[in-house]
Chain A
Amino acid sequence: MTQRRVVVIDDHDMFRAGVRSEIGASVEIVGEGADVESAVKAIAGTEPDVVLLDVHLPGGGGIEVMKQVHQRHPDIKFLALSVSDAAEDVIGVIRAGARGYVTKNISGTELVDAIGRVADGDAVFSPRLAGFVLDAFSGAIDIASVDEDLDRLSQREREVLRLIARGYAYKEVARELFISVKTVETHVSSVLRKLQLSNRHELTRWATDRRLV
């Protein structure tokens, strides 16, 4: 298998060095960036498979990086990597186009796994993100305005998310529900799509309600 080409964006040198030493053997790290400007430049210059993106960045944050890169390179995939627990940040970065969200205390092998999954076009949900999504999609919605396709999670998707929130890996979810790992990935990608495209006003309101300031 060819190595994935990865760019690491984080404003802390120490953290980038740490990531490099932890996953540098399994993936090819082709570039780094410390703020929005250098990140966009590094990504445009190397056109990697996956960008590991910090949510909080000088110059407008990770969301700004995605906005600028997406216009010219819509096929580059982003995996958000952050210490922030704020629901607003997590949901915000996913809705801006990231294919997944993991926290910085993730282990090296898990991170390599996640990078591979994102590069293949699948989504990566940590237990916390799964919890946030379940929370955001719960609650009643005005029936008239429901776009059945986007505004609701199917029973199956809900089950998958609940298991992920309980700490199950995709493989374990598949075994638990008697479905294939591929099917689990399909469900998760579908949830990600809904999360990105739904106009569900609850999503915004929910994130605002969780605002801390």
Chain B
Amino acid sequence: MTQPAAAAPPGGPPAPGGPVGGPHAQYGPQAQYGVPGSQQQPGAEPPPIRRAYRRTDGRVLSGVAGGIADHLNVSDTVVRLVFIGATVFGGFGVLIYAALWFLMPLEVSTGPNAPGLAAATRSGMRPETPVPPLHSAHKERRKEKNRGQLTAFAVVAVGVLLLLNVAGLGVAGKMFWPLVFAGTGLALIWRQADEGQRNAWVGKAPTLGALFGKGGWKSVIRVTVGLILLGTAVTVFLVQNGRLSQVGDVLVALLLAVVGIGVIAGPWVHRLSRDLNNERGERIRSQERADMAAHLHDSVLQTLALIQKQANDPRAVVRLARAQERDLRSWLYDEDDTTDQTLSGAAKRAAAEVEDSHGVPVEVVTVGDCELTEGLSAMVRAARESMVNAAKHSGADKIDVFVEVDGDRAEMFVRDRGKGFDPDGVPEDRLGLRHSVMGRMERHGGRASVRSNPETGTEVRLEMDR
């Protein structure tokens, strides 16, 4: 059996799942959808190995401290203080930090997706249209964060310089400026490599130059400046040691060596990177297939099995099929899980509950939407009560629910084509309509009216100002 790749580490920090569920477990939340009645298999798989990742969001320098904090489940401030302490007393902090920067992989962010549509588009079942994703707000935040990081870099650089000064590590005189230049240059290049790696996750895989990623001219400038600084450091060092005359020879020799290695290893490196990309693409596809299979297994196959078992009970079969259809639909087509926050989401959920518990299909059509206020959730509860009444008493084989938000007013209609009743003839002690529907609406400042006759069935109209 294929298993859901995105089983999140229970109770763990928001760190990504193990290496398996890593970069492309996009269907995480959905993979846990199940049919009502189908149980999850407990403990069927070992918990994934937890690894520490450098943070991509909310990092000050390179995300090392944040990543460790996430991993150990402590505050990142504590980790940062420990680093600072280790730096001040003995100077190990910087070394450890640099080593971790080098060793810890970048955390990968995951995004939701709608596999059904994508799959239909891929197989040519839908007309192809490009998707324009908009991330303007995102960019804004990135910019702000970058400024913070720049400041942090500057502060760290000054700190390192001061430290060297205090320690008297050859800073006096010759070594000072070469070290400054080389340090800054290396930091820039490393930083860019980070960026490249992140872009590689986010976007398509770059074929060559993991260094530049998709950063555009900025990344080129960063790397160039870094290289120039390194070159300056070397030159200054050579000049100070009076060996400038040899620079030419050294450069030529170096150049020849680089070209030689490039010629020898170039094709091989190219093929290697291409193979890696292919392999990764293949892995992503097979993961998607596994996710899909897992979902189908947990939901559709289970339901089909249940249906076969209850084949002699048509009502149960219809109920199971409807529940499964709804589940699959929401998995394939629903944009996001806003069920708890919006009027239409709440209405759909109420309808689903009624459908499940009473076995009568409830069709919900919504026009417009708005946030679910207290009054509106009272209206949804009243509507739910009306649906239950219709399902229980009307004998109709279908209930239509219409939700409309227009300007400042929200309306809901619950309609059945059942046998109807006399609204005035409802006895006082019957709580359903009078109390749960009419009374509830009036208490929250709304209105409710009922129309019913034996030919056309019943329609309950609920109205409330937002």
For chain B, residues 324 to 357, give those with C-beta under 8 angstroms from any C-beta of chain A: 329, 333-335
Among residues of A, the one whose C-beta sits closest to the C-beta of B399 is A167
| Interface residue from B126, B334, B406 paired with A61 (Cβ < 8 Å) | B126
Q: How far is the CA of A134 from the CA of B404 in the complex (A)?
A: 9
Which 10 pairs from chain A and chain B are nearest by CB?
A: A167-B400, A131-B365, A56-B125, A212-B114, A166-B402, A134-B367, A166-B413, A127-B365, A167-B415, A165-B365
Number of A-B contacts (CB under 8 A): 77
Mark out the residues of chain A between 154 and 206 whose CB falls within 8 Å of any chain B CB in the assembled complex: 162, 165-168, 172
Choose from B118, B125, B402, B406 the contact partner of A165 (Cβ within 8 Å): B402
| B459 partner residues in chain A, CB cutoff 8 A | 166
A131 touching B366, Cβ below 8 Å: yes
The contact sample of 20 A-B pairs, CB cut-off 8 A, is A11-B125, A58-B125, A61-B126, A85-B329, A128-B363, A130-B365, A131-B367, A135-B366, A165-B404, A166-B365, A166-B459, A167-B363, A167-B413, A168-B415, A208-B132, A211-B131, A212-B117, A213-B118, A213-B121, A213-B131
**B402 contacts A213, CB within 8 Å?**
no
A29 interface hit (Cβ, 8 Å) = no
A residues touching B (Cβ–Cβ < 8 Å)? 11, 55-61, 63-64, 84-86, 89, 92, 127-128, 130-131, 134-135, 138, 162, 165-168, 172, 208, 210-213
Q: Is the CB of B365 within 8 A of A85?
A: no
- A59 to B406, alpha carbons, bound, how many Å? 40
Chain B residue numbers with a CB within 8 Å of A84 are 333
> For this complex, into which size category does the number of interface residues on chain B fall?
20 to 34
Q: A89-B126, A130-B365, A167-B413 are in contact. List 13 more A-B contacts (CB 8 A).
A: A56-B120, A57-B125, A58-B124, A85-B329, A85-B333, A128-B363, A138-B367, A166-B415, A167-B402, A172-B456, A213-B114, A213-B118, A213-B121
Complex contact B123–A58 (CB within 8 A): yes
Tell whether B199 is near chain A: CB-to-CB under 8 Å: no
- Which label, helix, strand, loop or mixed, suits the secondary structure of the A interface? loop
B413 CB to closest chain A CB (Å) equals 5
- When C-beta atoms are compared, the residue in chain A nearest to B397 turns out to be A107
Residue of B nearest to A86 (CB): B333
> Quick one: which of A92, A127, A131 contacts B127, CB cutoff 8 A?
A92
In the assembled complex, B113 has its CB within 8 A of some CB on chain A: yes
Q: Which of B118, B120, B125, B400 has the most CB of A within 10 A?
A: B125
A212 touches B335 (CB 8 A): yes
Q: How far is the CB of A204 from chain B (nearest CB, A)?
A: 10
A166–B456 alpha-carbon span in the complex (Å)? 13
Bound CA span A56–B363, Å:
22
Q: How far is the CA of A59 from the CA of B123 in the complex (A)?
A: 8
Separation in Å of the B26 CB from the closest CB of chain A? 12
Q: Is B260 an interface residue (CB 8 A)?
A: no
Contacts of A57 on B, CB cut-off 8 Å?
Answer: 125
Complex formed: what's the CA distance from A189 to B124 in Å?
31
B12 at the interface (CB under 8 A from A): no
A210–B126 Cα gap in the complex (Å)? 16
B85 interface hit (Cβ, 8 Å): no
* Residues of chain A with a CB closer than 8 A to B404's CB: 134, 162, 165
> Chain A contacts of B127 at CB under 8 A?
60-61, 63-64, 92
